[in-house]
Each structure stands twice: as structure tokens, then as C-alpha cells.
């Protein structure tokens, strides 16, 4: 009667379902721990990067005393916060804590991943990271003051205490006892995983789950009369019971869980520690009376709960008696084929079979969820691998850019020399001009690569968007088959816009590339239109974020396959792509949307399957006209100053020397920085200005500049570099370096910098 009966089967199946839900939560926590360790170990950030982040996100102290993004808080309070936004628990005193700032900076974009994990745990109330610096992030976004105060001590929080080193030396995932969630989710359980970096405890990830989200009400369904199913914890307190509820007193901040011994005095005889040791089985209670009870139990791994089914012995005997009576009726009717097998065969009864089928269906559903989790885990691992490859590409790009810029420098310089020597109406002048423009595009491409790898930053400026658009279409036309028609409707009367030319170029290239892919197989066409447009105070669907004024509207339309509404809603999500694997990253439109948004613009898209797509980009017009080159090379004035030129590339020193001598300067050139230092040390007053490269063997340009200034503090120094991780136009030492240029630099620009420094010195002397 005891073994392999339907009650025991029900207990095991219910425990498996509960254990599966616990395992899903554990997998999510392990993913969060791995993600944070990758971010903490691979993120490179200086204090200036963090300050720029503060400025870009509008960080400040809110009226409740928290250090947070004020625009995001305002958006949340107006129900306009992004779905992947995270909130910050950050006391203003910790803004100067370098560990707090660095780790919060590393997790600044974690909302996308947290949203994905929460999608796999749809019942999760909160996902949050707590740092030993007493800072934290929460997802989804929450107005901090509704849950805690700015001086809240996270180290006293129950999740923190549960995994702190002194309480969890094994560094395992730990679950806490039920608590009250004052942010609105009622009675919750919390699971936490500690995060150790370089063998040092630095924080923890936690997931809060409503109690009832871990089990379905069906676990209370029974197969026998008088059966009761319930869950207890290690101390014997009731976790879930069909009619005994946990009492919550929010005013006092307390809760009361009933104890198993209060259900019936016979449960006082249960040895709960023994149940944990045995993990599964049954116990017979109250043998001395006819009110015997059989208790089946199964320990749920990972959370230290026990699922229990309590059944009166009488109910089981009645089931057996019914089976026996049925067998006797069959014999009485003359059917001798019916056999009463072992007592465990009573599970063939209809209601038991139905219960079993429900269990199997639940297991199938659980396996489906597990498979989805495995797929999601694989996708996350693929994305993390992609980020690692991108970082490696960025490092490689820096080295390539340095060498490529050094190659381009003499090409641009010598063509600039030739242009000055050749008659402007000659065929040779036209040919050299083409070389100069091509080299200029190569220079811009190098800067775009460095921008892509985040190793340089091109400043926003007032530019002609139509000029950039026309240049982009020229490049596209050369790379797209002639079977694809490109219709150019770019107006020349468009006002200038304020932006990064490289990123504006990227907007056009991304949209046009998508349009090309949409018509690639059909040999269709796409159209590019650029025109001024006025956005007024009247309501314009999709443009609510734009202030009234003049805008430039870029429209890229195609007659390709188009998209349905569901696809259109997702196209700006990172990594979403409709292209087959290997042909798209899903980043193009996401990056484009980010660029447009940062320029205070907007994007709209219209699409219909079979009819094509239309993308509109709105960018605000600049108040000033596009910048123009102030003077030609022939209009520039030179000088007679004595210049010390240092660059380890002979081709560069020869070219720059020859060019500057045309302006009347006296040039002393060296390809070894040590020789240059020796010459300057011997006769420091023989030079009026120094031009030096940054990356040189033996002694770098910035170190040379410091040594020269030590000898003669008033010497003017110009530093050039193809690329260096050590220095940029924002980080160079202004005490040692007076001007900074990224190679390749137009020699005319170099001359203007010389005159600026020398003419300023003359004015000071007068």
C-alpha cells in the first residue's frame, strides 16, 4: 500500500516542478554573476569617462537626496521611462568613491540584459545588484524614495546578510525567509548570489519573487479523500497551504507563518531533520489509534523546502476496497480474466490517471521552458562573445590606424605641394586633386574606424548635411549593382546641421544599406531625399519629442519586401535583425536611432509587406551656416622662425620639411628623439618652435616635450600622432604641449598653428 502509489507520484512530480522553477532562478543569477565579472574585468574607464557619463545622463541630487539621473527620474514619474531603464540607489557622498563610480559605470547599460532575464522569469518582482560600497541598481525602475531612504545601509539588508562572507563562506546561492515587499509585490522570497572579483567580495545579485510564483495552485489538488498537500521550510513553518495563510502586518513590518505542529498534534512526531537527510519517502503517524496518517515527502533542492502530502490511512484502504469490490463483481458476472495485482495498481483509477496526465503536461511545459532557457543562455553567450571580439577589433584598429595615418600624411602633404605648383586649369591639377580627395576620404575612414572602436572622438560641428549625403551616395553607387536604381532628391538649399560628420555619414550609410538589402533580390530601387521642414506646435504623430522649429528631414524609401507591424515595432531593438545568420548584426538601426536621439532628432518608419519601407530622420537645423575653409594654401603667410622637426618616419620629416621651407621657415629635422633632445640641449636658443611625433622608439613625443620644457619653458611645442592609447586631443598635457594634431594633418593647418603660436608670442613681447 505504501510504495509507488498515486500520492507518492504526485509528490515527486510537484517537487520536480518546484525544483525546476528554483533552478531557472539559479541559472539567471549565475548569468548575472558572469556578466558583471566580464564587465568589471574588461571595462576601461577613466574618471573623465565617468564624469562625461554623469553629464550625459544628467546626474544630480534629487529632492529626496539620491544621486541619480534627473531626466530619467522625471521621465519615470511621467510614465515615459524606457522599458530597460535601471534605477540607482546612490548616496551623494559616494560620488567620489572610485570603486562605487567604476562599478556603477560598468553596469550603466545592464538594463537590456536584465529585461531579457526578467522576460524568462516573468513573475520576478525585482532584479538588483548591491555593492559593498553601499550603492545599488534595481530593475525595473523604481522611485527610490518609495522603498528606502538615501542613507539606507544595504549591508543590513536580508539579501546582503544571507551571502556575506561570514555567513556564506561556500559562496553559494542563498534564499532568504519570506519578507514583505513595501514596493508593492506583497510577500516575497529573495535569492542571492555573491560576486567575488580577484577573490574579494564586492557585491551580490538578487532576484525577488512573489511567494506564489514558485508554485501553481494545482499542487493542492488531491487524489484521495482527506488528502492535504502543503510545503514547509527547514524549521517546520508553513510556506504554502491550501487554507492556512501567512499573516502580514505591514504597519508593524512583521509576518506570521504557521507551524506544522499547529495543524494537528500528530505532526509534532515528525522528525524534520530526518526528512531532510532522507530527502524522499514516507512516514506512518499515530499507529496507536485508528486515526493513522501516512505522510509522503520530497525535499526540494536548492531552497530547503519539503513538499508533503498527508493522507488518512482509511482513504487508501477505501480505494483498495473499491478495487476489490469491482474485481468481485467481475467474477460474479462470470468474467474471470480480471486480476487484482499489487495494491499500487490502484493508480489506474480514472481520477488518478487524470491527475497523472496533468502532471505529465506540467512536466512537458517545464521542459519547454528549460529548452527556451537553454536557447536564451546560448544567445547571451553569443552576444558576450561578440562584445569580446569587438573589443579585440578595437585594439587592432588602433594599431592599424597609427600606421595608416603615417602612410597618408606624406600622400596628403605631397599632393598639397603639387596642387600649389600646378596650374589650376590643367589636367594634371585635376588628377592630383582627385588623389587629394581620395586620400582625404581615407583619412576620414581611419577616423571613423577609431570612432567605431571608441579610441577617438570627433567633435560635433556645424556641417552641410547635403554634402555628406552626396558623398555617401557616391560611395554607395560604386558598391551597389547597377541593376539597383538609386534616386537622388537631395536639395541644395538645406540649412546646416550640428553633428559629427562621421556619424551623420553613418546614418545615411546604414539606412541606404538596409534599403539595398530590401531590394537586392528583386532589382528594385530606393530613393534618398533631403529637404528642410518646419515642425510647428500642432500635433504631429511620432514627433512629440521635437521642439518647434526648422529641421532637416532625410527620407530613405524603397520598393522592397517591406515589414509587418510586429517587425516594425522591433527594428530599433539592439541585435534584432531579419537577415539570415551571418549577414546582419542587428545593430545598424539601433545605432542609427541612438545617434539621431543624441542629436535631439527623431525617427519614423512606415512599412507594409510587399510594398516597401520608408524611413524618416529629423535633425534640427543649426543656427549658423556650415563651416568653410578660411583661406587657401596660397593665401597663407609664412615666417622665418627656426623649427625643430622630430618624427621617426623619414618620409614624413622630408615632406613636412620641404613644405614648411616653402613658407620661409628654417627646418632642422631628426628621426631620433634622443638626437633631437641632444641638439636642443646644446643650443636651446637656436629654435623658436618644436614639432614632434608622439609614437617613437626610445623616447615618446610627450616625454620629449616635458624634457624640452624643463630646458626652456617658453618653447612652443606642437605634438602630432597617428594614434596613441596614451594621449588624445582631450588628455594631452597643456603645460608641455601647446597644440595637438591627429595625423594626417593638412600642412596648411600645421602652418596656421605655427603662425598662431608665433604671432601670439610676438604680441606678448611687444
Q: How far apart are CA 652 and CA 674, in angstroms?
A: 18
Q: How far apart are CA 700 and CA 721, in angstroms?
A: 10
Averaged over successive runs of 10 residues, the pLDDT of the chain (766 residues) comes to: 66 86 92 94 92 95 94 94 93 93 94 93 92 95 91 94 95 86 68 95 94 78 82 85 65 60 82 88 70 84 86 64 55 49 41 44 69 83 65 62 71 78 82 77 68 57 87 80 88 89 85 87 87 78 80 92 80 63 57 85 88 91 62 64 92 88 92 94 94 89 93 93 68 83 83 88 47
What does each C-alpha distance from 748 to 104, 415, 432, 436 come to in angstroms? 45, 12, 17, 14
What does each C-alpha distance from 239 to 16, 234, 260, 269, 312 come to in angstroms? 17, 10, 10, 19, 22
CATH code assigned at 104: 3.30.450.20
In this structure, the answer to whether residues 223 and 342 fall within a common structural domain is yes
* DSSP state at residue 344: G
Q: How far apart are CA 675 and CA 10, in angstroms?
A: 87
What pLDDT score was predicted for residue 502? 78
In this structure, the answer to whether residues 601 and 693 fall within a common structural domain is no
Residue at 426 is within a domain: no
In this structure, the answer to whether residues 567 and 524 fall within a common structural domain is yes
What pLDDT score was predicted for residue 455? 47
What pLDDT score was predicted for residue 289? 54
In this structure, the answer to whether residues 173 and 221 fall within a common structural domain is no
Residue at 333 is within a domain: yes
> Is the pTM here over 0.75, yes or no?
no
Residue at 553 is within a domain: yes
What pLDDT score was predicted for residue 2? 45
Q: How far apart are CA 365 and CA 379, in angstroms?
A: 21
The residue out of 599, 625, 651 marking a domain boundary is 625
Residue at 408 is within a domain: no
The residue out of 331, 348, 365 marking a domain boundary is 348
Q: What sign has the CA pseudo-torsion 172, 175, 177, 180?
A: positive
Tell which residue, 199, 184, 198, has the closest CA to residue 138: 184
What pLDDT score was predicted for residue 204? 97
Give the number of domains in the chain.
4
Residue at 436 is within a domain: no
| Residues 6 or more apart in contact with residue 180 via CB below 8 angstroms | 186, 187, 188, 248, 250, 253, 255
Q: How far apart are CA 31 and CA 377, in angstroms?
A: 8
Are the C-beta atoms of residues 715 and 656 closer than 8 Å to each other? no
The residue out of 625, 654, 675 marking a domain boundary is 625
In this structure, the answer to whether residues 564 and 675 fall within a common structural domain is no
CATH code assigned at 647: 3.40.50.2300
Which ranges in 131-233 belong to alpha helices (H)? 158-163
In this structure, the answer to whether residues 498 and 610 fall within a common structural domain is yes
Preceding peptide of 292 cis, ω within 30°: no
Within 10 A of 438 (CB to CB), how many other CB atoms are there? 12
Are the C-beta atoms of residues 223 and 351 closer than 8 Å to each other? yes
In this structure, the answer to whether residues 68 and 203 fall within a common structural domain is yes
What pLDDT score was predicted for residue 60? 95
Residue at 710 is within a domain: yes
Residue at 561 is within a domain: yes
What pLDDT score was predicted for residue 505? 85
What pLDDT score was predicted for residue 703? 92
What pLDDT score was predicted for residue 199? 93
What pLDDT score was predicted for residue 678? 94
CATH code assigned at 478: 3.30.565.10
In this structure, the answer to whether residues 505 and 560 fall within a common structural domain is yes
In this structure, the answer to whether residues 621 and 672 fall within a common structural domain is no
Are the C-beta atoms of residues 646 and 623 closer than 8 Å to each other? no
What pLDDT score was predicted for residue 389? 62
In this structure, the answer to whether residues 99 and 122 fall within a common structural domain is yes
Range of the domain at 611: 465-625
What does each C-alpha distance from 329 to 319, 321, 337, 338, 460 come to in angstroms? 16, 12, 12, 10, 93
Q: How far apart are CA 123 and CA 210, in angstroms?
A: 7
What pLDDT score was predicted for residue 421? 79
In this structure, the answer to whether residues 621 and 639 fall within a common structural domain is no
What pLDDT score was predicted for residue 402? 62
What pLDDT score was predicted for residue 620? 92
DSSP codes of every residue in 76-94: HHTT---TT--EEE--GGG
Are the C-beta atoms of residues 689 and 638 closer than 8 Å to each other? no
SS3 state of residue 18 = helix
Residue at 745 is within a domain: yes
In this structure, the answer to whether residues 190 and 71 fall within a common structural domain is yes
What pLDDT score was predicted for residue 387? 60
Estimate to the nearest angstrom the gap between the alpha carbon of 12 and the chain centroid. 40
Amino acid at each position: 500500500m505504501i510504495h509507488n502509489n498515486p500520492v507518492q507520484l504526485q509528490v515527486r512530480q510537484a517537487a520536480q516542478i518546484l525544483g525546476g522553477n528554483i533552478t531557472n532562478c539559479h541559472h539567471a543569477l549565475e548569468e548575472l554573476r558572469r556578466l558583471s565579472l566580464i564587465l568589471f574585468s574588461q571595462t576601461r574607464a577613466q574618471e573623465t569617462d565617468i564624469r562625461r557619463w554623469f553629464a550625459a545622463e544628467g546626474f544630480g541630487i534629487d529632492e529626496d537626496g539620491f544621486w541619480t539621473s534627473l531626466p530619467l527620474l522625471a521621465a519615470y514619474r511621467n510614465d515615459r521611462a524606457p522599458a530597460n531603464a535601471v534605477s540607482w540607489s546612490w548616496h551623494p557622498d559616494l560620488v567620489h568613491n572610485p570603486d562605487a563610480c567604476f562599478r556603477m559605470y560598468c553596469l550603466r547599460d545592464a538594463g537590456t540584459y536584465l529585461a531579457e532575464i526578467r522576460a524568462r522569469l516573468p513573475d520576478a518582482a525585482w532584479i538588483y545588484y548591491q555593492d559593498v560600497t553601499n550603492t545599488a541598481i534595481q530593475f525595473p525602475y523604481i522611485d527610490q524614495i518609495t522603498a528606502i531612504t538615501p542613507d539606507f545601509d544595504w549591508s543590513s539588508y536580508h539579501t546582503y546578510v544571507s551571502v556575506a562572507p561570514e555567513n556564506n563562506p561556500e559562496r553559494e546561492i542563498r534564499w532568504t525567509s519570506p519578507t514583505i515587499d513595501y514596493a508593492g509585490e506583497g510577500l516575497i522570497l529573495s535569492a542571492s548570489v555573491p560576486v567575488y572579483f580577484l577573490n574579494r567580495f564586492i557585491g551580490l545579485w538578487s532576484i525577488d519573487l512573489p511567494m506564489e510564483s514558485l508554485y501553481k495552485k494545482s499542487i493542492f489538488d488531491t487524489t484521495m479523500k482527506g488528502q492535504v498537500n502543503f510545503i514547509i521550510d527547514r524549521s517546520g513553518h508553513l510556506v504554502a497551504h491550501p487554507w492556512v495563510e501567512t499573516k502580514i502586518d505591514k504597519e508593524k513590518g512583521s509576518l506570521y507563518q504557521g507551524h506544522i505542529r499547529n495543524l494537528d498534534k500528530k505532526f509534532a512526531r515528525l522528525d524534520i531533520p530526518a526528512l531532510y537527510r532522507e530527502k524522499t519517502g514516507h512516514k506512518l503517524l499515530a499507529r496507536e489509534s485508528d486515526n493513522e496518517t501516512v505522510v509522503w515527502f520530497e525535499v526540494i533542492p536548492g531552497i530547503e523546502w519539503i513538499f508533503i502530502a498527508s493522507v488518512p490511512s482509511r482513504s487508501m484502504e477505501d480505494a483498495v476496497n473499491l478495487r476489490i469490490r469491482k474485481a468481485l463483481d467481475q467474477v460474479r458476472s462470470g468474467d474471470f480474466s480480471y486480476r487484482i495485482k499489487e495494491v499500487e495498481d490502484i493508480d489506474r483509477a480514472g481520477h488518478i490517471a487524470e491527475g497523472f496526465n496533468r502532471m505529465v503536461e506540467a512536466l512537458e511545459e517545464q521542459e519547454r521552458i528549460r529548452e527556451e532557457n537553454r536557447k536564451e543562455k546560448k544567445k547571451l553567450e553569443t552576444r558576450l562573445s561578440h562584445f569580446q571580439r569587438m573589443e579585440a577589433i578595437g585594439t587592432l584598429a588602433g594599431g592599424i590606424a597609427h600606421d595608416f595615418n603615417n602612410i597618408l600624411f606624406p600622400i596628403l602633404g605631397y599632393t598639397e605641394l603639387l596642387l600649389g605648383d600646378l596650374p589650376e586649369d590643367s589636367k594634371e591639377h585635376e588628377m592630383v586633386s582627385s588623389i587629394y580627395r581620395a586620400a582625404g576620404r581615407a583619412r576620414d575612414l581611419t577616423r571613423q574606424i577609431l570612432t567605431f572602436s571608441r579610441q577617438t572622438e570627433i567633435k560635433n560641428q556645424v556641417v552641410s548635411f547635403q554634402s555628406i549625403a552626396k558623398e555617401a551616395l557616391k560611395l554607395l553607387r560604386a558598391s551597389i549593382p547597377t541593376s539597383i536604381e538609386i534616386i537622388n532628391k537631395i536639395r541644395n538649399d538645406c540649412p546646416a546641421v550640428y553633428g559629427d560628420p562621421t556619424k551623420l555619414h553613418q546614418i545615411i550609410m546604414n539606412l541606404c544599406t538596409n534599403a539595398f538589402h530590401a531590394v537586392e533580390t528583386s532589382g528594385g530601387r530606393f530613393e534618398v531625399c533631403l529637404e528642410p521642414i518646419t515642425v510647428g506646435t500642432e500635433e504631429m504623430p511620432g514627433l512629440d519629442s521635437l521642439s518647434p522649429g526648422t529641421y532637416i528631414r532625410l527620407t530613405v524609401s524603397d520598393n522592397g519586401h517591406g515589414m509587418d507591424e510586429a517587425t516594425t515595432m522591433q527594428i530599433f531593438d539592439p541585435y534584432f535583425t531579419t537577415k539570415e545568420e551571418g549577414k546582419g548584426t542587428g545593430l545598424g538601426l539601433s545605432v542609427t536611432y541612438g545617434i539621431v536621439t543624441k542629436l535631439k532628432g527623431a525617427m519614423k518608419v512606415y512599412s507594409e509587406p510587399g510594398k516597401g519601407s520608408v524611413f524618416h530622420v529629423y535633425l534640427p537645423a543649426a543656427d549658423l551656416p556650415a563651416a568653410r575653409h578660411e583661406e587657401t594654401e596660397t593665401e597663407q603667410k609664412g615666417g622665418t622662425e627656426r623649427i625643430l622637426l622630430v618624427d621617426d618616419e623619414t618620409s614624413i620629416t622630408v615632406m613636412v620639411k620641404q613644405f614648411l621651407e616653402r613658407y620661409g621657415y628654417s627646418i632642422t629635422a631628426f628621426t631620433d628623439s634622443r638626437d633631437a633632445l641632444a641638439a636642443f640641449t646644446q643650443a636651446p636658443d637656436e629654435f623658436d618652435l618644436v614639432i614632434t611625433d608622439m609614437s617613437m622608439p626610445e623616447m615618446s613625443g610627450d616625454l620629449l616635450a616635458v624634457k624640452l620644457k624643463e630646458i626652456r619653458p617658453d618653447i612652443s611645442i606642437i605634438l602630432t600622432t597617428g594614434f596613441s592609447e596614451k594621449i588624445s586631443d582631450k588628455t594631452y598635457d597643456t603645460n608641455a604641449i601647446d597644440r595637438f594634431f591627429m595625423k594626417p594633418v593638412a600642412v596648411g593647418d600645421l602652418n596656421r598653428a605655427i603662425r598662431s603660436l608665433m604671432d601670439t608670442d610676438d604680441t606678448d613681447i611687444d
